[in-house]
C-alpha cells in the first residue's frame, strides 16, 4: 500500500477516534521508546551479544517505587497473609526499606509507605517477586493474577515449582528487561558523535559520574554510588570497605542512615534514551540467567546490573554485572520493559492520537521522532499500518511519555496537509 493510501486511511480513523478515552491504571510509569532494532553490539566487550536487540520496545524511565509496590501489596495481599512472600520484613526494619506492615489495619490497607520514601526504589524483592509484579501489571492490576500472564509460575508457593524453566511469553505486554534490553537502553546512543555506539556509563558519558546529591551539576554526570574519594552520594564521606583479598568494593553503611535517592532524581544525567539510575542507586533484576563457564545458562542465578548506592564506581559501568540466587532479597530493585505496538504516546490505547503523532511527523527522519512507531528512523506508511493493525488495542498503562500530542484541530490540518502534499506528488497517469 502506498504512503498516500496509508495517510488517507489515517484520516478515516481519526474521524472516529477522539471519543476513545485512554485506559488509566493505578500504577503508572513513564516510558522511553527504544527503537533502532538490530543495532550493532558493543564492540568494546569480549562478548558479541551485549546491547544488540532485534525488536523495538519501551523501558520504564525509572525503577519501580515503594509507593507502587505498596499498591501491589495491598491489592494482592489485602489480609496480610503474605503467602507468596511479596513482602519482606527488611522493607520495614532496614532503614533503606520503604514499606511498613500494620496487622491491625483494615484489609487492603495493611501496607504503608514510610514517610518521605514513596518515590525511592523498592528493594528487598526476589526475582520471583519481580515476575509476579510483572504478571500483575499484565493482568490489569487490582486483583489481577500474579501466577500467569507474561510469565507462568506454578505451585502457588514463593519459589515456583517450575522455577528453572520460567520464560517470558511471546505475547507479553510487560516484562523484566533482558540483559541486552537493559544494556541497550542504558549505554547505546544512536546519535553518538562519530557514529552510533556505546558509552561506558548510563549517563550518556564515557567519563565516570561523580558521587553527589541529585540533581547534580549540569554537564557533569552524577550517580548514587560510593566514591573512594568523596564517599556516599547522599551524606558525603564514609568508610571504604574491602573484600578479604584487600580489593576495594564500596562503602561501609551506617544502619541508621538512608542512603537512597528518589528514582529519576538525577535529572542532569539521563541515558541517551532518557532513562535514569541505570548507573547507581540499586542493582536491578534482569530476565537473563547467569551463564556457566561452558556458556550454558544457570537458571538458579539471574543477572543484576546497574550498581548500588554502597558499591564502587566500577559496578555502575557497562563492563560490570552481578548475579544472585532467584530467592535472594537484598538491595535489588526492578524496572520494566513493555511492548505496546501502535501506542505512540503510551496512554494505553491505540487511537487517533497515535495517528496524529505519525501525521505531524510525516516523512521526518531521525532516531527520536515520536511518530516513528516501528523504530526504523523514518515516519511513513509503515507506522500508520502499525496503528491500523493494532487499532483500539489497550495495554492498561495509565502511563506517560515525553511526547506532545497535537490538538485535534492541529491534527486535522496536519493530516489534510499531508494528504494534499502526497496527492500533488503522485505521478500523473499517461494517457
- The answer to the question of residue 348 being in a domain is no
Residue showing cell 528493594: 123
- The answer to the question of residue 341 being in a domain is no
Nearest in space to 301 (alpha carbons), one of 284, 312, 286:
286
8 Å CB contact between 42 and 198: yes
- The answer to the question of residue 370 being in a domain is yes
Torsion angle of alpha carbons 402, 339, 36, 342, nearest 10°? -70
Residue 177 and residue 341: Cα distance in Å, rounded? 17
- The answer to the question of residue 342 being in a domain is no
* Same domain membership, residue 228 and residue 97: yes
Which of 265 and 404 is assigned the larger pLDDT? Answer: 265
- The answer to the question of residue 34 being in a domain is yes
* Same domain membership, residue 389 and residue 326: no
- The answer to the question of residue 321 being in a domain is yes
Residue 136 and residue 144: Cα distance in Å, rounded? 5
* Same domain membership, residue 398 and residue 421: yes
* Same domain membership, residue 388 and residue 271: no
Which of 374 and 23 is assigned the larger pLDDT? Answer: 374
* Same domain membership, residue 179 and residue 256: yes
* Same domain membership, residue 260 and residue 359: no
Which CATH number is 50's domain given? 3.90.1580.10
pLDDT tens string 340-353: 989 988 888 999 89
Of 300, 335, 370, which marks where a domain is finished? 335
Which pLDDT does position 393 carry in this prediction?
87
Of 302, 335, 368, which marks where a domain is finished? 335
Which pLDDT does position 44 carry in this prediction?
84
Structural domain containing residue 21: 3-26+353-425
In the chain, count of helices (H) and strands (E)? 8, 16
Average pLDDT, the chain: 88
* Same domain membership, residue 177 and residue 58: yes
Spatial CB neighbours of 337, under 8 Å, sequence gap ≥ 6: 57, 58, 59, 60, 174, 175, 176, 177, 178, 181
- The answer to the question of residue 346 being in a domain is no
- The answer to the question of residue 205 being in a domain is yes
Could you tell me the pLDDT band of residue 376, with boundaries at 50, 70 and 90? confident
Could you tell me how far CA 350 lies from the centroid of its own chain?
A: 20
Which pLDDT does position 394 carry in this prediction?
85
8 Å CB contact between 36 and 52: no
* Same domain membership, residue 229 and residue 138: yes
Of 294, 309, 335, which marks where a domain is finished? 335
The cell for 57 is: 520496545
Domain count, the chain: 2
* Same domain membership, residue 133 and residue 18: no
The cell for 35 is: 527503537
pLDDT tens string 161-187: 999 999 999 999 999 999 999 999 999
Measured between its terminal Cα atoms, the distance across the chain in Å is 23
Residue showing cell 496536519: 414
Which pLDDT does position 3 carry in this prediction?
54
Which pLDDT does position 117 carry in this prediction?
98
DSSP string over 57-116 = EEEESSPPBHHHHHHHHHHH-TTS--TT--S-THHHHSTT--EEE-TTSPTT-SEEEPTT
* Average pLDDT, integer, range 4-22: 48
* Same domain membership, residue 50 and residue 103: yes
Which pLDDT does position 47 carry in this prediction?
63
* Same domain membership, residue 264 and residue 147: yes
* Same domain membership, residue 295 and residue 416: no
Phi/psi for 81 (5° steps) reads -65, -30
Amino acid at each position: 500500500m502506498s504512503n498516500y493510501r496509508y495517510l488517507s486511511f489515517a484520516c478515516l480513523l481519526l474521524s472516529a477516534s477522539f471519543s476513545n478515552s485512554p485506559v488509566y491504571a493505578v500504577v503508572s510509569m513513564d516510558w522511553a521508546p527504544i527503537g533502532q532494532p538490530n543495532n550493532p553490539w558493543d564492540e568494546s566487550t569480549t562478548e558479541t551479544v551485549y546491547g544488540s536487540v532485534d525488536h523495538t520496545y519501551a523501558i520504564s524511565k525509572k525503577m519501580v517505587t515503594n509507593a507502587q509496590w505498596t499498591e501491589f501489596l495491598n491489592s494482592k495481599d489485602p489480609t496480610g497473609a503474605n503467602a507468596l512472600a511479596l513482602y519482606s520484613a527488611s522493607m520495614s526494619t532496614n532503614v533503606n526499606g520503604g514499606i511498613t506492615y500494620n496487622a491491625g489495619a483494615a484489609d487492603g490497607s495493611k501496607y504503608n509507605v514510610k514517610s518521605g520514601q514513596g518515590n525511592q526504589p523498592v528493594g528487598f524483592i526476589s526475582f520471583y517477586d519481580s515476575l509476579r509484579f510483572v504478571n500483575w501489571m499484565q493482568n490489569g492490576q487490582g486483583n489481577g493474577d500474579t501466577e500467569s500472564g507474561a510469565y507462568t509460575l506454578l505451585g502457588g508457593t514463593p519459589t515456583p515449582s517450575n522455577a528453572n524453566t520460567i520464560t517470558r511469553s511471546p505475547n507479553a505486554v510487560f516484562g523484566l528487561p533482558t540483559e541486552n534490553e537493559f544494556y541497550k537502553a542504558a549505554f547505546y546512543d544512536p546519535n553518538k558523535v562519530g557514529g552510533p555506539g556505546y558509552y561506558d556509563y548510563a549517563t550518556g558519558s564515557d567519563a565516570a559520574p561523580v558521587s553527589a546529591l541529585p540533581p547534580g551539576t549540569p554537564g557533569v554526570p552524577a550517580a548514587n554510588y560510593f566514591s573512594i574519594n568523596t564517599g556516599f552520594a547522599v551524606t558525603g564521606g564514609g568508610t571504604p570497605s574491602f573484600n578479604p583479598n584487600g580489593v576495594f568494593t564500596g562503602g561501609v553503611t551506617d544502619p541508621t542512615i538512608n542512603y537512597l535517592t528518589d528514582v529519576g532524581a538525577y535529572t542532569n544525567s539521563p541515558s541517551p534514551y532518557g532513562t535514569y539510575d541505570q548507573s547507581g542507586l540499586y542493582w536491578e533484576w534482569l530476565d537473563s540467567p547467569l551463564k556457566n563457564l561452558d556458556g550454558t545458562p544457570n537458571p538458579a542465578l539471574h543477572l543484576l546490573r546497574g550498581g548500588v548506592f554502597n558499591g564502587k564506581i566500577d559496578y555502575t559501568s557497562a563492563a560490570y554485572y552481578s548475579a544472585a540466587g532467584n530467592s535472594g532479597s537484598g538491595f535489588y530493585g526492578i524496572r520494566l520493559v513493555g511492548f505496546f505496538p501502535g501506542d505512540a504516546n503510551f496512554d494505553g490505547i491505540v487511537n487517533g492520537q497515535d495517528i496524529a503523532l505519525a501525521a505531524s511527523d510525516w516523512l521526518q527522519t531521525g532516531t527520536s521522532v515520536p511518530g516513528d512507531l516501528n523504530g526504523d528512523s523514518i515516519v511513513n506508511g509503515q507506522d500508520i499500518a502499525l496503528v491500523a493493525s493494532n487499532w483500539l488495542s489497550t495495554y492498561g498503562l495509565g502511563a506517560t511519555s515525553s511526547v506532545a500530542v497535537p490538538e485535534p484541530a492541529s491534527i486535522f490540518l496536519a493530516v489534510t496537509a499531508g494528504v494534499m502534499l502526497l496527492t500533488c506528488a503522485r505521478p500523473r497517469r499517461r494517457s
